[in-house]
Amino acid sequence: MKFKTLVKTCSACPSQWEGQLEDGRYVYIRFRWGHLSVRASAESIDEAVTGGEELYSGGPDDVHPFDGVMSTCEMLKLTGLEYDGKTKFGRSGTGES
């Protein structure tokens, strides 16, 4: 699966991203307490945050259980998701970085 847009909304504790896949689904990604989760929804980013379909749940093998910091490159590698653009930092849904 490939991202059309990807915004890192928080850099640490948790590291989190919001984006939209090429198929139109909204995606919420969160790394906190050593656990990485990816949720998607065709409805809205809010639905992806509060529920949605779980696309990935896990994390790195060598992580501290209190860890909440992850780079975008590491997240993409772990989840198998793809993104060719530059990750923006800011609020999702505004078109601003």
pTM of the entire predicted model: 0.84
In angstroms, the CA 44 to CA 24 distance is 10
Banded model confidence at residue 95, pLDDT cuts 50, 70, 90? very low
pLDDT of the residue at 96: 35
Give the count of beta carbons closer than 10 Å to the beta carbon of residue 52.
21
pLDDT at position 92, please? 52
pLDDT for position 84: 83
The predicted model gives 43-72 an average pLDDT of 92
Q: How far apart are CA 81 and CA 48, in angstroms?
A: 16
Please state the domain extents for the chain: 3-84
